[in-house]
Amino acid sequence: MNIKACLFDLDGVVVDTARYHFIAWGKIASELGFNFPETENERLKGVSRMASLDILLEVGHINIDPSQKNLLAERKNNLYVSYINEMTPDEILPGVIQFLDELRSEGILIALGSASKNATAILDKIKLTEKFDAVIDGNKVSIAKPDPEVFLKGAAELGVRPESCLVFEDAQAGIDAARNAGMHIIGIGQPENLKNADFVIPGFQNFNFNELSALYFQ
Ligand code: B16
Ligand code: MG
């Protein structure tokens, strides 16, 4: 088996921005008069901003018209952007930089495949932009995960066939997207939350090129 490229999700894989999404959505919920519990937060991971708002409104049993929805999504994003503007490289998850550097020195191409329209701003803040050969974010795709578009565009931009790509993902929608793209998949997180990955690991703290080779290069 030959892996020529690795594609990384951003939120939950490279950085933990899920907590900033959660705080911002929580403020919107409390302004609307209900509590958005952390137990529902898993449902927001990997899905688009508008799909997240739909989940929030469903939890709060709230019905509003599309123009109000746009205003709420914009307000949530303004809050979220104010949090990510304060991000620093210290927030890169453990082991990520070392793993990216190892991949590069082994000649494996690297892409980002994120649903977030704020992905390039986040990479800039955490000073990681230069580690990626291609960046596909929410501004470049028209259909959200679990559609494979984000990862297929990443593979195309790198010039690598989907079957030679490996995706790292923390959300079920992203794992389904990678599966739909015909790629190899390593889930990041807990196996009970992530169905259909090839393997699930807790993170990159104890995962390096040797472990990757043992799984895929035999
Ligand atoms: P934005 P990922 C996703 O990022 C988040 O997991 C998800 O919670 C969020 O709704 C989505 O980005 C859109 O983000 O509002 O910044 O465009 O996991 O695909 O890197
Ligand atoms: Mg994610």
Pocket test for ligand 1, best of 53, 55, 93, 114 (most atoms within 8 A of CB): 114
Sheet of strand 5-8, all strands in order from the earlier edge strand to the far edge? 134-136, 109-113, 5-8, 165-169, 184-188, 199-201
Q: Which fold has domain 18-84?
A: DNA polymerase; domain 1 (1.10.150)
What's the CA-to-centroid distance between 218 and ligand 2, angstroms?
29
User: Does the domain made of 5-15+92-216 have the CATH classification 2.60.410.10?
Assistant: no
Mutation choice for ligand 1 from 13, 19, 21, CB with most ligand atoms inside 8 A: 21
What is the structure's pLDDT at 186? 98
The two domains 5-15+92-216 and 18-84 share their CATH topology (first three levels equal): no
Task: Tell me whether residue 150 is exposed, middle or buried, using C-beta atoms within 10 angstroms of its C-beta: 0 to 12, 13 to 18, 19 or more.
Answer: buried
Q: Which residue has the tokens 């649903």?
A: 115
Residue 35 pLDDT: 97
Active site residue 9: yes
> Domain residue spans in the chain?
5-15+92-216, 18-84
Could you check whether the bond before residue 146 is cis, i.e. omega within 30 degrees of 0? yes
Tens digit of each residue's pLDDT, the chain (218 residues)? 589 999 999 999 999 999 999 999 999 999 999 999 999 988 898 889 999 999 999 999 999 999 999 999 999 999 999 999 999 999 999 999 999 999 999 999 999 999 999 999 999 999 999 999 999 999 999 999 999 999 999 999 999 999 999 999 999 999 999 999 999 999 999 999 899 999 999 999 999 999 999 999 87
Q: Which of 104, 106, 132, 108 is nearest to 13 (CA)?
A: 132
Q: What is the pTM of this model?
A: 0.95
Atom of ligand 1 nearest to the CA of 12: 18
* Per-residue confidence (pLDDT) for residue 1, from 0 to 100: 59
pLDDT of residue 2: 86
The residue whose C-alpha atom lies closest to atom 3 belonging to ligand 1 is 46
Nearest alpha carbon, ligand 1 atom 13:
116
Q: How distant, in Å, are the alpha carbons of 24, 54, 107, 156, 185 from that of 67? A: 20, 13, 48, 36, 38
Atom of ligand 1 nearest to the CA of 170: 18
